[in-house]
Amino acid sequence: MELVCPAGSLPALKAAVDNGADAVYIGFRDGTNARNFPGLNFDFNEARTAVSYAHKGRARAFLAINTYPRPRQWGKWCDAVNRAAQLDVDALILSDPGLMDYCREKYPDLRLHLSVQGSATNHEAINYYVRHFGVQRVVLPRVLSLTQVRNVLKRVNVELEVFGFGSLCVMVEGRCTLSSYVTGDSPNSSGVCSPARAVKWEETSSGRCSRLNGVLIDVYAPGEPAGYPTLCKGRFEVGGHVYYAMEEPTSLNVLDILPDLYQAGVAAIKVEGRQRSPAYVAQITRVLREAIDACISSPEKFVPRASWVEQLDKIAEGRCHTLGAYSRPWQ
Amino acid sequence: MKLSLGPIPYLWNREYVFDFYARVAEAPVAIVYLGETICSKRRALRLPDWLDIAGRLTAAGKEVVLSTLTLIEAESEVAYLRTIAENGSHAVEANDYAAVNMLEGAMPFVIGPHINVYNLRTLAVLAQAGAKRWVMPVELDRDTLAAIQEQRPAGLETEVIVFGRLPLSFSARCFTARAHNLSKDECNIRCADYPDGMRLHTREGASFLDLNGVQVLSARTYNLLNEIKTLAELKVDILRLIPQRQGMFEIIDALYSVLQGVMPPPVAADILAGCQPAGSCNGYWHGAPGMDQVNHA
């Protein structure tokens, strides 16, 4: 079971590789990938340096081109595939079937992974992508319970990668346009969710307000820690009650079920967070490396160490964690 | 251009659904999409019921398409999908690649709005697989549609949502159950109590979203009445309306009358305005935030 870590910059990539990631994933510095944040990601030469650093550290390097190009963007997205093919990347992470079809035709030897943005949540959908585009690994959306992950694994002949740690997408990836409804930019179209350019903070008599393109996402009482206003993690009023109507600010953390994922045959554990700092990536990689090694050496006896959980919670969104959809009660 | 009626996104009670489609049989829509697309726990109507309604609508001269679940997780959901895909009498709308995988080569199918078709190459791949029609995803804009229409695969029909609260997202979590402090497994089918979804307001009282089980919809109603001329110029074949309780048949009549040239659009606009409890939006069409209402100068 591999550990796949995020790298939004060369220092983050080095942090991941140096701390034991089996693979790192990166993206170009534009809208072709789903973490299109200012100041992040790699131009062609930086990507070349990054891939070479990963390979020297005996880590594999994946490159994500996982947004959905519209006709006017088509040439640019194909160009991203062309550039990626000249890098020595170990796999491309794609979501758009048109782009996968292009890739199959032009670069039949390039290994393809289906991005989480491809929304494949069952064996029939997975088999479609395998049959048409020769996809060799599928990243599962964060919607399946542990039992469902096991069932899918029994019915597909492809590697499955699942999310192990990081910010929790409460919606099915690739099928959420809440962000573009409010701001005009979505993960599918622009590679961003709740973009920083649309965020405004206001100090008012009732507290600190966070807004996304004018829509009030939350109000924080004096002294209450305020989180980034991701719109599905705000407090809203439904039926007379004000609460986190969709999800609390919290992180996904699978330490508790690591042996189950391993024994089910999951090929890789993915860490979310190409927008995160090198220090964050270093810490998570270090902890998960230790945890995965312990799990593989004796899955029956595996118990998450308190120090791991503590270290991860310290840097987690909302400073707490959940098993998310892996656990039925969360659903 | 023809009118279509999309699948009912909400859980309405059985009698209401039968009565609703009895009226649809008399209404001027050419195409009717039937079935449960949101949650497999909703079983007020089973497949034989939907096929019964499908038979009546077909007899009334409608084209019937069986629509399918969007988020497919459990084996039982895959199995149910297969029975729909193999129904043998009616076309099927695929809202997930699982359905595409089953329908490819078996029968012509419709690509629903929840399959991400953002460009021509994807559309070509799906046309090759046997798609006869595609429904434009909600966040796409006029210019994207124009570019796709210019080179769309021969024989493929284009359908655009022109009225209704927009389906914005799906989750493993049931937000209606959550609003009642229940888990999805013990939800007691509470969504049946909300035939137009549960309204979600911001903390300053603005209508923002609607919670409908595992789905989130816009509170504002997407309304492209003023774009009908452009839609015709772009050679769109079908205009889709999303079912709602309030004024559905007045909405259908108004849009049909506009298409027939027997009702001035401003008159229709007044009728539609009375059926948009949180106001209207058309931002996506103009490449703006979806919630915006962009008015022509």
What's phi and psi for A130, nearest 5 deg? -70, -45
Whether the pLDDT of residue A35 is over 90: the answer is: no
Assign 3-state DSSP to chain A and report helix, strand, coil percentages, each to 5. Answer: 40, 25, 35
Q: How far is B26 from chain A (nearest CA, A)?
A: 34
Indicate the helix (H) or strand (E) that contains B129. Answer: helix B120-129
One-letter amino acid identity for B254?
A
Per residue in A47-103, pLDDT (tens digit) is 999 999 999 999 999 999 999 999 999 999 999 999 999 999 999 999 999 999 999
**Yes or no, beta carbons of B216 and A171 under 8 Å apart:** yes
Provide the pLDDT confidence category of residue B3 given band limits of 50, 70 and 90.
Answer: very high
Q: What mean pLDDT do residues B68-94 have?
A: 97
Whether the pLDDT of residue A159 is over 60: the answer is: yes
Strands (E), A262-331: 268-271, 321-322
Interface test with B, best of A78, A106, A124 (most B CBs within 10 A): A124
Nearest CB partner across the interface for A177, out of B99, B100, B138: B138
| Four-residue CA torsion sign, B184, B190, B196, B202 | negative
Q: Best-predicted range by mean pLDDT among A246-250, A306-310, B249-253?
A: B249-253
**pLDDT score at A321:** 85
**Yes or no, beta carbons of A175 and B169 under 8 Å apart:** yes
Q: What mean pLDDT do residues A3-11 have?
A: 97
Please give the mean pLDDT across all residues of chain B: 97
Q: How far is A52 from chain B (nearest CA, A)?
A: 33
**pLDDT score at A25:** 97
Q: Which two tokens stand for residue A41?
A: 């990601």
Nearest CB partner across the interface for B102, out of A124, A189, A242: A124
Distance CA A114, CA B201 (A): 36
**pLDDT score at B193:** 97
Q: What mean pLDDT do residues B168-188 have?
A: 95
Give me the domains of chain A, ranges plus CATH numbers. 2-168+250-330 (3.20.20.70), 178-243 (no CATH)
| Four-residue CA torsion sign, B68, B71, B76, B78 | positive
Indicate the helix (H) or strand (E) that contains A64. Answer: strand A60-65
**Yes or no, beta carbons of A97 and B74 under 8 Å apart:** no
**pLDDT score at B67:** 98
Q: Which two tokens stand for residue B277?
A: 């409890």
Provide the pLDDT confidence category of residue A221 given band limits of 50, 70 and 90.
Answer: very high
**Yes or no, beta carbons of B139 and A101 under 8 Å apart:** no
Per residue in B24-42, pLDDT (tens digit) is 999 999 999 999 999 999 9
Whether the pLDDT of residue B91 is over 80: the answer is: yes
Give me the domains of chain B, ranges plus CATH numbers. 2-165+221-286 (3.20.20.220)
Q: What mean pLDDT do residues A192-214 have?
A: 95
**pLDDT score at B206:** 98
Per residue in B209-268, pLDDT (tens digit) is 999 999 999 999 999 999 999 999 999 999 999 999 999 999 999 999 999 999 999 999
Q: What mean pLDDT do residues B56-82 have?
A: 97
- A153-159 — which CB contacts under 8 Å span 24+ positions? A153/A264, A153/A265, A153/A266, A155/A123, A156/A123, A156/A126, A156/A127, A156/A130, A157/A130, A158/A126, A158/A130, A159/A267, A159/A268
**Yes or no, beta carbons of A69 and B119 under 8 Å apart:** yes
Whether the pLDDT of residue A319 is over 80: the answer is: no
**pLDDT score at A37:** 84
Provide the pLDDT confidence category of residue A317 given band limits of 50, 70 and 90.
Answer: confident
**Yes or no, beta carbons of B290 and A182 under 8 Å apart:** yes
**Yes or no, beta carbons of A238 and B199 under 8 Å apart:** yes
Q: How far is A132 from chain B (nearest CA, A)?
A: 9
Please give the mean pLDDT across all residues of chain A: 95
Whether the pLDDT of residue B297 is over 60: the answer is: no
Distance CA A330, CA A322 (A): 8
**Yes or no, beta carbons of A181 and B291 under 8 Å apart:** yes
Provide the pLDDT confidence category of residue B291 given band limits of 50, 70 and 90.
Answer: very high
**Yes or no, beta carbons of A331 and B183 under 8 Å apart:** yes
Whether the pLDDT of residue A184 is over 70: the answer is: yes
Closest alpha carbon within chain B to A243? B179
**Yes or no, beta carbons of B172 and A189 under 8 Å apart:** no
Q: For the purposes of burial, counting CB atoms within 10 Å of the CB of B40, is it exposed (0-12), middle (13-18) or buried (19 or more)?
A: middle
Whether the pLDDT of residue A316 is over 90: the answer is: no
Per residue in A101-114, pLDDT (tens digit) is 999 999 999 999 99
Per residue in A128-155, pLDDT (tens digit) is 999 999 999 999 999 999 999 999 999 9
What's phi and psi for A117, nearest 5 deg? -65, -15
Closest alpha carbon within chain B to A127? B101
Q: What share of chain A in percent tops pLDDT 70?
A: 100
Residues of A in contact with B74 (CB under 8 A): 148, 151
Are B176 and B184 within 8 A, CB to CB? no
Q: Which two tokens stand for residue B288?
A: 């703006």
Closest alpha carbon within chain B to A122? B73
Chain A 210-249, residues with CB within 8 Å of chain B CB atoms: 213, 215-219, 232, 235-239, 241-242, 245-247
Are A140 and A115 within 8 A, CB to CB? no
Nearest CB partner across the interface for A216, out of B124, B203, B218: B203
Interface test with A, best of B209, B220, B221 (most A CBs within 10 A): B209
Whether the pLDDT of residue B111 is over 90: the answer is: yes
Interface test with A, best of B70, B78, B84, B116 (most A CBs within 10 A): B116
Q: How far is A274 from chain B (nearest CA, A)?
A: 23
